[in-house]
Structures are given as structure tokens and as C-alpha cells.
């Protein structure tokens, strides 16, 4: 390698590695702290980086005090139902907006765009009042409620459908498929990468959401992982090893899924983000 190419490359890698370290360090510190005793975590002299014994006492304690199985289930159920609803309803509407002609199409699509321009906080009080009025607070339904349909998903998938070639639909029509059959048998399979992107986006958004579950599901048995962490923080306040253990318990499943499906995650975000 010629010398004039070597140094720019080294500098680039040093910068990239420094940033990678900055990204990774908080997570490393979270795990290391979660195995320490309170005394170790607060001992400054000598400064302790590694726990002296890798004992899961903090995890045992946190799991004893909180029903994490329940929280996993609540979070998973919320994510799964939101993903299914947003994919099904958004794909249906998106196909109609992309390919069919019907009166009111532009007006209704305008509603979709309008929803996307408005800050979501404006919906929260009325949505809360609705859930409260039908007596559904502290349920999985309440967690799912704002995500039953998705304007963003409709917009995203419409872009996908518009990018697909029309010939296949015409061929399906000639073969005697009606509009519904064409949609299910021809278009949906072709839009698979769009559906995957929307699923990832919806799941991540639901997983990270904090305000809605905190408002609508105040009972701890109906909380999500995110909203439970907020509660745990105010309950334990300064016991950082236990707080870190709770954090690790809350985030590892999503991290694992991410590491396994990272290609889909990153491409899904890149395509759906860029299509917005």
C-alpha cells in the first residue's frame, strides 16, 4: 500500500473505532454494573471496572420483585398485534391508493398525509379518554389501541406498490383474477420487503414507546418493559446495579433479535425512513 493511501485510511479507522467505542461503552457499562455489588459500583479508590465476582444477585433480586414474564408478554403482545394490524390494514389501503380509481381517493389520502404532519401528542388525551370511557384501561387492548391503523404504514406501502410494475397485475386480470385476488396473490408477495420494513418499524416504535403505556396502563401487571423501567427507577432510585440489571433484562431480547436480523433491520429502516 502506498504511503499516501495509508494514513488517510488509518485516520478514518481511528475515527470510526472511536465512535464505535462511544456507541458501545454505555451498554458495556450497563452489563458490568449489573453484576457488581452496590459497594463495588460506588467504590472509587481503587476504581473498579470489573465485578470481583460475576454473581447474578442483582438479577435474582430484580426478577423476584418484578414479574418480568408478565412484562415480556405484555410488550410482545402489544408489538405483535400492532404489527399484524398495521401490516394488514395498511397494505389494503395502500394498494387501493396506489392502483385503484374511486371517488374520494385524493381526499382520503389527504387524511393520511394530514395525520403524519401532526405531532402525535395531540391525539393522546382524547385516546386516553376513549379507552377510559369503555373501561379498557390496564389491558393489552389499551396498549394496542393507538396503533390499530397506521397512516405512516399506508404511506410507506403505497410508495412500494407504486414502484411495482403494472404488467403482473394486468396478466392476473387476464387470467380472471378479481381485484381482491390480484392484491392477495400477486401484489402482497411482491411487496414483501416493504411489509418487513413496516413490521420492523412498527415493532421498534411500539417497543420504545414510553408515554402511552405509562398513561393508560398504570397497574404494574399491565405495564410494558419501557413503562415498567420508569416505575422501577423511581422505586429503587440509587441502587444502580439493580437498575442496570433491570435494564439488561428489558433490552436484551430486542438486541438479540437485532443482532440476528441486523440486515433486515438496517435495510428496513433505510428504505422506510427514506420513503417517508
Partner 1 sequence: MHRRISKQMRNEWYWGWFLIAPTILGLIVLNIIPIFQSFYLSFFKSGDFGKGNVFVGLDNYRKMADDPQVWHAVMNTFLHALMVVPFSIAIALVLAVLLNGKRKGKSIYRTIYFIPMVAAPAAITMVWKWLYNSQFGLINVLLAKLGLPKVEWTSNPDIALVSIAVIGIWSVIGYNMVLFLAGLQEIPKDYYEASDIDGAGKVRQFFVITLPLVSPTLFFVLVTSIIQAMQVFDVIYMMIEVTNPAYDKTVSLVYLFYNNSFKYSDKGYGSAIVMLLLAIIMIMTVIQTKTQKKWVNYM
Footprint (CB under 8 A) of partner 1, residues 164-223: 178-180, 183, 204, 207-208, 210-211, 215
Binding to partner 1, residues 1-30 (CB under 8 A): 8, 12-13, 15-16, 19-20, 22-24, 26-27, 29-30
Say how far apart CA 161 and CA 81 lie, in whole Å.
23
Taking CB under 8 A as the rule, does residue 244 contact partner 1?
A: yes
Taking CB under 8 A as the rule, does residue 225 contact partner 1?
A: yes
CB of 215 to partner 1, least distance (A): 5
Binding part of the chain for partner 1, among 51-59, 60-68, 136-144, 149-157 by CB under 8 A, reads 149-157
Binding part of the chain for partner 1, among 136-144, 160-168, 190-198, 242-250 by CB under 8 A, reads 242-250
Tell which phi-psi region holds residue 137, choosing left (phi > 0), alpha (psi between -120 and 50) or beta: beta
Q: Number of residues interacting with partner 1: please give it, by CB under 8 A.
A: 95
Query: How is residue 56 written as a grid cell?
Result: 447474578
CB of 204 to partner 1, least distance (A): 6
The set of long-range contacts for 191-194, using a CB threshold of 8 Å and a minimum separation of 24, is: 191/91, 191/157, 191/160, 191/161, 191/164, 193/160, 193/267, 193/268, 193/271, 194/156, 194/157, 194/159, 194/160, 194/161, 194/271, 194/272
Binding to partner 1, residues 30-49 (CB under 8 A): 30, 33, 41-42, 44, 47
Sign of CA dihedral 234, 237, 243, 246: negative
Taking CB under 8 A as the rule, does residue 106 contact partner 1?
A: no
Amino acid at each position: 500500500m502506498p504511503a499516501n493511501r495509508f494514513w488517510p485510511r488509518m485516520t478514518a479507522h481511528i475515527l470510526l473505532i472511536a465512535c464505535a467505542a462511544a456507541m458501545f461503552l454505555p451498554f458495556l457499562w450497563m452489563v458490568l454494573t449489573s453484576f457488581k455489588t452496590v459497594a463495588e459500583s460506588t467504590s472509587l479508590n481503587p476504581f473498579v471496572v470489573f465485578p470481583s465476582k460475576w454473581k447474578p444477585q442483582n438479577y435474582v433480586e430484580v426478577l423476584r420483585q418484578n414479574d418480568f414474564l408478565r412484562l415480556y408478554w405484555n410488550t410482545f403482545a402489544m408489538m405483535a398485534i400492532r404489527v399484524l394490524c398495521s401490516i394488514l390494514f395498511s397494505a389494503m389501503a395502500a394498494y387501493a391508493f396506489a392502483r385503484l380509481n374511486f371517488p374520494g381517493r385524493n381526499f382520503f389520502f389527504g387524511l393520511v398525509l394530514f395525520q403524519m404532519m401532526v405531532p402525535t401528542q395531540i391525539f393522546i388525551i382524547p385516546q386516553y379518554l376513549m379507552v377510559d370511557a369503555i373501561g379498557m384501561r390496564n389491558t393489552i387492548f389499551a396498549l394496542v389501541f393507538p396503533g390499530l391503523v397506521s397512516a405512516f404504514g399506508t404511506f410507506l406501502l403505497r410508495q412500494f406498490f407504486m414502484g411495482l410494475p403494472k404488467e403482473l397485475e394486468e396478466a392476473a386480470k387476464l387470467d380472471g383474477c378479481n381485484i381482491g385476488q390480484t392484491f392477495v396473490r400477486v401484489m402482497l408477495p411482491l411487496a414483501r420487503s416493504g411489509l418487513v420494513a413496516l413490521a420492523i418499524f412498527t415493532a421498534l416504535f411500539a417497543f420504545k414507546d414510553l408515554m402511552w403505556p405509562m398513561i393508560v396502563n398504570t397497574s404494574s401487571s399491565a405495564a410494558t418493559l419501557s413503562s415498567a423501567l420508569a416505575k422501577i427507577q423511581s422505586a429503587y432510585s440509587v441502587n444502580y446495579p439493580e437498575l442496570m440489571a433491570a435494564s439488561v433484562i428489558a433490552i436484551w431480547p430486542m438486541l438479540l433479535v437485532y443482532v440476528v436480523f441486523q440486515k433486515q433491520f438496517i435495510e428496513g429502516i433505510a428504505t422506510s425512513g427514506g420513503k417517508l
